[in-house]
Amino acid sequence: MKTFKSSRGPFTERPFYTDQEVESMCSDELRSVGLMPNVPGPIRIDRFIEKRFKIVPCYEPLPDGILGLTQFSDSGPAKIIVSEELEQNATVVNERRIRSTLAHEAGHCMLHTHLFAFAATGTPLFGDHTDPKAPKVLCREPQAYGGDWWEFQANLAMSMLLLPRQLVQAALVPFLRPAGLLSIPDLHEEQRPEAVKSLVDVFDVNPAMVKIRLEKLYPANASGRL
């Protein structure tokens, strides 16, 4: 991990992670607590948080547009809260949004805990609108996401926790076709809609996350890739 000077947010430096670093970290963390499935299937993200961070996520009222948040103490993550509105409106979509919110907050815990260890306790961080005495990061509705680097990094970890590369590739085997001079397995465009539908069911996540993950692993405009 490298660090760079930052002009955004409450810290003077920002950590930089490559995609591969985050990918490896997420897979290693899941394995470390025995929660990396042997075959493609939903990641038990709530159990991961309990085992890895010793936190049982809870549901509480949150301001409009806030799906979840993590409270930090000077010793690390102390509490993860998910909007109770998601729990009360029990639909498949909302249940999957709960899973993605938990994975997003787990991403903050993995990637950003060290920043809070050096932050001044009592300083409101990242535009907190609840308890001003508790440093925290917020998971916002997608339309409220402003491109902040800490949110981008947490979203990256979110997708890699819920859709581990090796499991996604295993689940995609029926949809891959040889491509290029070396006949490397690739996801052709005509197979993409069915692949998205399949992965949504296999990993219990919403389609938008699957589409973004597949675009990372098998870019739609990579027809010239060998």
pLDDT tens for residues 178-225?
887 777 889 999 999 999 999 999 999 999 999 999 999 999 876 444
The count of residues in the chain is 226
Residue 122, judged by CB atoms within 10 A of its CB (0-12, 13-18, 19+), counts as exposed
Percent of the chain exceeding pLDDT 90 equals: 61
Q: Render pLDDT for 132-162 as a digit per residue (tens, 0 to 9).
A: 444 444 454 554 455 688 889 999 999 999 9
Which residue matches tokens 């990637």? Answer: 111
List Cα–Cα distances, 166 to 26, 81, 91, 146, 226, in angstroms. 12, 30, 29, 31, 20
- Is the pTM higher than 0.95? no
Q: Phi-psi category of 126—alpha, beta or left, where left has phi over 0 and alpha has psi -120 to 50?
A: left
Side-chain-side CA neighbours of 124 within 13 Å: the count stands at: 7
Number of Cβ atoms within 10 Å of the Cβ of 59 = 15
Mean pLDDT of 26-55: 98
Rounded to 5 degrees, φ, ψ at 216 are -70, -45
The Cα–Cα gap between 116 and 75 comes to 8
Nearest to 2 by CA among 20, 18, 26: 18
